[in-house]
Amino acid sequence: MRGMKIGIDFGSSSLKICTESKGVVVDEPSVAAVERDSREPIAFGNAADEILGRTSDDIELVSVIQNGVIADFSLAERMLRYYLQRVCGNRIYKPNIIIAVSTDTTSLEKKIFLDAVTLAGAGRVCIVDGILASSFGCDVEADKLGGRMTLDIGHQLTEFAVVSMGCIAACGAVRRGSGEIDSALVRHLKRDRDIVIGPHTAREIKYKITSAVKREAETALMLSGKSNLDEMPISFDVTSKEIYPFVDEQLTSLIQSIHDEMRKIPPELLADAADHGINLCGGGALIFDLAQRIEKELGIRCRIAENPRLTKVNGLCAMMKNKELLERNGYRFIFKDEIRDRLKRVDRI
């Protein structure tokens, strides 16, 4: 097969791209800065994120992926084209793309991913289940092991699977994730303290003082925002004790949704996977004490993967080097028209 192989994990919060030879080469927010009237993009990724709040009202930040699927086709295609160009330069052959999607992605949503990647410059495309990639990212031996469970908590998408001998034996997905904590923090400060904060500040609170388990010690953070009363800038502090109930509410609900999905796993398979514990990955795994909380609520041991934000893309990198594994799962690098036919056939079943 001519052309380089490239893996893409287009998450709701960030776009990660890897190549066979270099590993992860792009890790940037999945956002585009667009001109409000014309909808023309002026920056993507880090450059777009940095613009937020620092320019006029004429520029808007758009999340290209929402809940794991493409929310704005034109921006997704142009964003992919921009990064593919950056990664591939002016190579003669088009790159072959392996792209991760969630197990609950519909045929239509897959078609949209396929069109976007192809228009962006892909040659052959291989659509794979992202949670299988996450499993490989957690455990490079996943194609040799019996039932192992991986739970990937992303920004707006949470997935799990029991993988046995390199294939998915059971899986589930909920279109929710750790981004709900950010929204809860924004809502709380506005409603209860008349303080308006932006997404960067919400993220800072989450990263620095949020814990999934109630703690005795209290930590505080000094921040800046805007008064909701007179719209003037203000400094304020926020403490871990103050935000805990809001974080707790979101996590209770998220873990309940995961639990509801996990109930569908056949009993022997679940028992086998539970014996080995859960590999926790995705950026959500970085919430302080989350593994401990999931362990308590689901009654299954949990260990956090190394560098959880990059588990899926690292797994993609491992998978694209393993032809036999791709074949075993029915994944093939094929041209757009061929995939379209396959998806049509799936639709008819």
Ligand X SMILES: Nc1ncnc2c1ncn2[C@@H]1O[C@H](COP(=O)(O)OP(=O)(O)O)[C@@H](O)[C@H]1O
What is the contact surface with ligand X in residues (CB under 6 A)? 11-14, 154-155, 157, 178-179, 203, 206-207, 282-284, 286-287, 309
Strand partners, 105: none
Cβ nearer to ligand X, comparing 95 with 283: 283
The distance of closest approach from Cβ of residue 287 to ligand X in the complex, given in angstroms and rounded to an integer, is 5
Q: How far apart are the first and last CA of the chain?
A: 31
Task: Count how many residues are written for the chain.
Answer: 349
Cβ nearer to Mg ion, comparing 282 with 315: 282
| CA quadruple 85, 86, 89, 90: dihedral sign | positive
The distance of closest approach from Cβ of residue 294 to ligand X in the complex, given in angstroms and rounded to an integer, is 14
118 binds, among ligand X, Mg ion, none (CB under 5 to 8 A by kind): none
Q: Which amino acid does the sequence have at 189?
A: L
Interface stretch with Mg ion, choices 9-17, 141-149, 203-211, 295-303 (CB under 5 A): 9-17
Cβ nearer to Mg ion, comparing 154 with 172: 154
157 binds, among Mg ion, ligand X, none (CB under 5 to 8 A by kind): ligand X
Cβ nearer to ligand X, comparing 11 with 45: 11
Cβ nearer to ligand X, comparing 170 with 290: 290
Cβ nearer to ligand X, comparing 153 with 274: 153
206 binds, among ligand X, Mg ion, none (CB under 5 to 8 A by kind): ligand X
The distance of closest approach from Cβ of residue 202 to ligand X in the complex, given in angstroms and rounded to an integer, is 9
The distance of closest approach from Cβ of residue 333 to ligand X in the complex, given in angstroms and rounded to an integer, is 23
CA atoms of 308 and 32, how far apart (whole Å):
24
CA angle, corner 169, sides to 164 and 170, nearest 5?
Answer: 135
Is residue 7 within 8 A of residue 125, CB to CB? The reply is: no
Q: Is 282 in the site for Mg ion (CB under 5 A)?
A: yes
CA atoms of 202 and 13, how far apart (whole Å):
14
The distance of closest approach from Cβ of residue 234 to ligand X in the complex, given in angstroms and rounded to an integer, is 24
The distance of closest approach from Cβ of residue 130 to Mg ion in the complex, given in angstroms and rounded to an integer, is 7
Binding-site size, Mg ion (CB under 5 A): 3
Tokens matching residue 192:
């209860």
Cβ nearer to Mg ion, comparing 147 with 282: 282
Cβ nearer to Mg ion, comparing 95 with 154: 154
Q: Is 11 in the site for Mg ion (CB under 5 A)?
A: yes
For 254, residues 6+ apart whose C-beta sits below 8 A from its C-beta are 153, 158, 174, 176, 177, 178, 180
Interface stretch with Mg ion, choices 43-51, 115-123, 208-216, 279-287 (CB under 5 A): 279-287
315 binds, among ligand X, Mg ion, none (CB under 5 to 8 A by kind): none
> Which long-range contacts does 187-193 make (Cβ < 8 Å, 24+ apart)?
187/246, 188/243, 188/246, 189/225, 189/238, 190/228, 193/236
The distance of closest approach from Cβ of residue 161 to ligand X in the complex, given in angstroms and rounded to an integer, is 15
Q: Which of 41, 137, 154, 199 binds Mg ion (CB under 5 A)?
A: 154
137 binds, among Mg ion, ligand X, none (CB under 5 to 8 A by kind): none
CA atoms of 21 and 242, how far apart (whole Å):
47
CA atoms of 81 and 117, how far apart (whole Å):
8
For every residue of 163-200, DSSP letters joined together read EETTEEEEEEEES--THHHHHHHHHHHHHHH-EE--HH
Q: Which helix (H) or strand (E) holds 136?
A: helix 130-138
CA atoms of 302 and 324, how far apart (whole Å):
30
In the bound state, the residue with its beta carbon closest to Mg ion is 154
Strand partners, 164: 167
The distance of closest approach from Cβ of residue 154 to Mg ion in the complex, given in angstroms and rounded to an integer, is 4
Is residue 139 within 8 A of residue 223, CB to CB? The reply is: no
Give residues in contact with Mg ion (CB under 5 A).
11, 154, 282
